[in-house]
Amino acid sequence: MTDTLIVGGGTAGCVLAARLSEHPEHTVRLLEAGPMWFAPDEFPPALRDAAHLPIGADTAWLWRYPVILADDGVPVTRDIVRGRVIGGSGAINGSYFVRAVADDFAAWSGELGSETWSFDSVLPAYTRSERDVDFGDRPGHGSSGPVPVRRSADPAPLSERFATACVAAGFPEIPDLNSVLEPVAGVGPVPCNIEDGQRMSSASAYLLPALARPNLTVHGATSAARIRFRGTRAVGVDISHAGRIETLWADHVVLSAGAIESAALLLRSGVGDPEQLRALGIPVVRPAPVGSWFTDHPEIGLAYELGAPDTATVPLEYVLELDDIEIRPYTVAFTPGVRHLGVALMRPRSAGILQLRSADPAIPPVIEHRYLSTEHDRARLRDAVATASEVLRHMSARSRTDAMPRQPKAADAWLHANLATSQHLSGTCRMGAADDERAVVDELCRVHGLTGLSVVDLSVVPVPLSRGPQATTVMIAEHVAGHLAR
């Protein structure tokens, strides 16, 4: 019998496994559906190289999901990916490690009516996680945490052109986007979790150094089919490994499989909308609004040409932050000779849904983002595209994307035609008070109405985050770990 069984060896799961196993008397078992390696040099080069995005069509370490981004008569469909590998999406992403801002946590606390997730309450978890080589000696930063954080000391010509253009357009410079003191609007270098050009996921930073502990067991290539209950208490998980199906028993089950898979596992296990579950032949354990709300960052990609040479570097060295808008000059050329400026809405009001298609774990769920379904979101993106186009003008870049029409209705059709996603899906197991009809977990990530079951990952975030989620996912696990160990 294991004290804590963690399902999902991604960003949050690796942090939890390392922190909980610091207590020698507490046994921890971590399950990861994808491959597992036990030393840094065993990881494939593509996963280690921070200048490479290992998400090609022939890549074996990905979850792939078809999604509907928006539907305005003609559905906008895409495929999205998540990391199916130890370290999760943090093992395949662009190493962006920017914190959410204080206003996000004010909204989060407002949803709860509690200070458990106020900015002052979570700041120690942020600082505990990082070893900031540039600002570790500054207030609100960490200098001895597991995750190395640094900004590019020699940015690519494209990144320098972008930063110079933003300043020329009147935007202030922000040297430290993770500062608790700097303004939230301006252009600055992206804090990245890299070391000597290597991507440092939570698997590398947290889990690998802890593997020698006798109270920690890690299983790779192990999929979770459903949670086992006795009444309303979670007691274990049915798993599949090497063609065998068995049950692992535990005092406490923690889902850290990400906002898609954690929600899908709850639903397959009978925690969700009773009518939908019964239609799929799933016995109902507990009614809950799992998957009934999620948020993500809609993104418009502006293609352009620039004479700056290609340079092998992280995919994003600088960003322009404008409160609820982030403008991203990607250094990766998705088409030879053509660059993309990403224009992302970071606090959308449109919300999506996730539902099961089948009780079969091999069949991906229905995921509908429902982007651009509010006038607020369309108006903010129209304004943001105009700002991004002005920055491109200051960069002397030649646009490859047709100009956005000025008339709002035509502009909205243009937004749909150029719509993409930042792939930052969160909130499928939303946090909230027991009397909140939208809430799945409480302020300590425990599933309402059930015992022995928690969800600790981006699933629980109850508000849109104004920055990319990796640093905040690490923080969530750091913040909750102390409560789970008690």
3-state helix, strand, coil in the chain (%, to 5): 25, 30, 45
Please say whether the beta carbons of 250 and 235 come within 8 A: yes
d(CA 170, CA 177): 18
Is 407 a known ligand-binding residue?
A: no
Give the closest residue to 75 by CA, choosing from 480, 451, 467, 419. 419
d(CA 427, CA 293): 7
Is 440 a known ligand-binding residue?
A: no
The dihedral region occupied by 372, where left means phi > 0, alpha psi between -120 and 50, and beta the remainder, is left
Please say whether the beta carbons of 85 and 221 come within 8 A: no
In degrees rounded to 5, what are phi and psi of residue 178? -100, 10
Beta-bridged to residue 398, according to DSSP, are 305
Pairing relationship of beta strands 198-199 and 339-345 according to DSSP bridges = unpaired
SS3 for 13-43 is HHHHHHHHCCCCCCCEEEECCCCCCCCHHHC
**Residue 9, CA distances (Å) to 178, 181, 364, 406 in order:** 26, 34, 19, 47
Is 469 a known ligand-binding residue?
A: yes
Through-space distance between the first and last CA atoms of the chain, rounded to whole angstroms: 18
- 26 an active-site residue? no
- If you write DSSP's letter for every residue of 297-319 in order, what string do you get? -EEEEEEEE--PPP----S-SEE
- If you write DSSP's letter for every residue of 237-289 in order, what string do you get? EEEEETTEEEEEEEEEEEE-SHHHHHHHHHHHTTEE-HHHHHHTTPPPSEE--
Please say whether the beta carbons of 400 and 48 come within 8 A: no
How many CB atoms within 10 Å of residue 212? 8
Pairing relationship of beta strands 194-195 and 198-199 according to DSSP bridges = antiparallel
Catalytic residue among 141, 369, 416, 424: 424
> Residue ranges for the binding site for FAD?
85, 469-470
> Residue ranges for the binding site?
85, 469-470
Q: Which residues are catalytic?
A: 424
